[in-house]
Structure 1
Amino acid sequence: MRADRLMALLLLLQRREHVTAAEVARELEVSERTARRDLDALGTAGVPVYSVQGRGGGWRLVGGARTDLTGLTAAEVRALFLVAGPASAVTPAVRSALRKLVRALPEPFRDQAEAASSSVVVDPRGWGWAHVEHRTPDHLDAVQDAVVRGVQVRLGYVDAAGAASTRTVHPLGLVAQGASWYLVGDTAVGRRTFRVDRVSTVEPTDDPVRRPDDFDLAAAWRAVADEVDRRRTPLTVRALCTSDGLDVLRIGFGGRLDVGAATADGRVEVVVRGRDERTVAGELAGLVAWVEVVGPPGVREHLAATGAALVARYR
């Protein structure tokens, strides 16, 4: 079930003495079949909701209409907010629901619930590499628990070159991107990002995480992702593009395209980033109707060679 529906359903159950599938369907704008499935899913997940059969039946929360959700354990609260947290970054309704639900939680659960809701960022962009099968890393739960509880960990790690090390890490948050999970944390030598599937051991300590007051997980990850993109695409190519070709460039280059000012002849200055001159020339060769490359000269030379080869082949 969608995270925003889950949150809305919990709040609806909290406001009313009981609800029927028809009422849930109207409130959440779903079918009655979907409403029943969502209600059943809440109970299966451990939320203290039960059904009453017969005339006047429906679904209720254990403890009555004004329950403070004390039927939820601390682990269940963390799980709920971990599910809903990433959606709240893009869905205002979920953000609002999270704030309301935090106020309804027992005091001991609130800090961990708020920590859980902000501990994960989902980045829909991939690195542009080949498809990789999704697999949950062995130590993801342990790393996530340390982030939510705010404790330092001694992390065993194997880097891309195969070198093993152990270091003390202040875990600040997790990022899910494509098939991979990443831990963002502070270390003795500065902030680092660790791929969770390369973590070999996780040993929590009793020492609290030193979390910067102004830390923003989404902003920190954007800086990491932008740096990776810059390293993968170090070449910048200057070009002029017709106004009707901008959408074609955006589709082809995405975040590797920067659009500048219009020129006197009505075209637009653009900059595209790529891995090397030959590769970028190959990407731009089919866009000759819209794009004229200004520099560097090496890209123009590759384009000219490609054009000559095409003429020779298809003359």
Structure 2
Amino acid sequence: MKKGERLNQMLRFINQKQQFTLKDLMSEFQISKRTALRDIASLEDIGVPLYVEYGRYGGYRLVNSMTLPPISFTSQEVFALYFAMQVLQNFASTPFQISFRSIHEKFLEGVPADLRGQIENFRERVAFYPGEQTHECDYLEDLLLTAAQNNVIKIRYEAPKQTTIRWIQPIAIYAMKSWWYCQAYDLDKGAYRVFRCDRITALEIVNHEGAVDLKDVNLHNAQSLWQPTKQAVPFTCILTSEGVEIFNKEPYPSMEVVTENGIMYLKGTYEPAELHFMISYLAGFGKSIKIIDPVSLREQLKDYYLDVIDHL
């Protein structure tokens, strides 16, 4: 990182912290003590009002909050933002329902002419094919906001064979294989569940006695809440290294890869109503998977393959 860019970021860091130490700067910006001291001197030279507190618990304190300069981006950051924007265009629905045509025009107007030219050239040389999402999701913004605010919502959920009313606490939303999903705590079942967002056809924020504190639960640790029902069917499969890669591209909270005596297994549970999904999911592994238990699952996968052959 160039010194000018580092000082700009350091200004924002200091303005937010108000009080900091040399170790804070060294850790945040991955610089040496000598460089941190030189940067502080440079900040003081441009008028940043810093006060030094000596002693064991001393450090630097910002005397007054500053009016920060406008945010500036490096060329690499501009390109990264543009590429991220291009990927999102493949989704029929996004949180906050932004207009990509409008944001594209504003984005190009705001970058320097030389970068604008490079971006136009990139458009002819870079493409993203993550799989186009065609199903509208009417409540992505509401799901994201209620997740951030730890609210309980009442939803109407249109599953393939039935429509149900559910009371859930959203944890996070994510996109995978062109679908939006909502991780949530199901208050009726008292368990963690995942819902396909396009199947939520009505949503209402409500008060519920069974609400739980999910402030510390997020997209990365929500799997710890997963609990199978009493009717869930346990399964075990052997995986090749290719099979592990396939699973890592599309993992599910009810499954995990474990290694025992040098052999890699896919273990987990599925609900009886999820049998058709499981067969279709496991078929996607091809020769990289071998079902051990239950035998009935293996036989049903064989029937699936035979049915496919009959249709060739």
| TM-score, normalised relative to structure 2 | 0.37
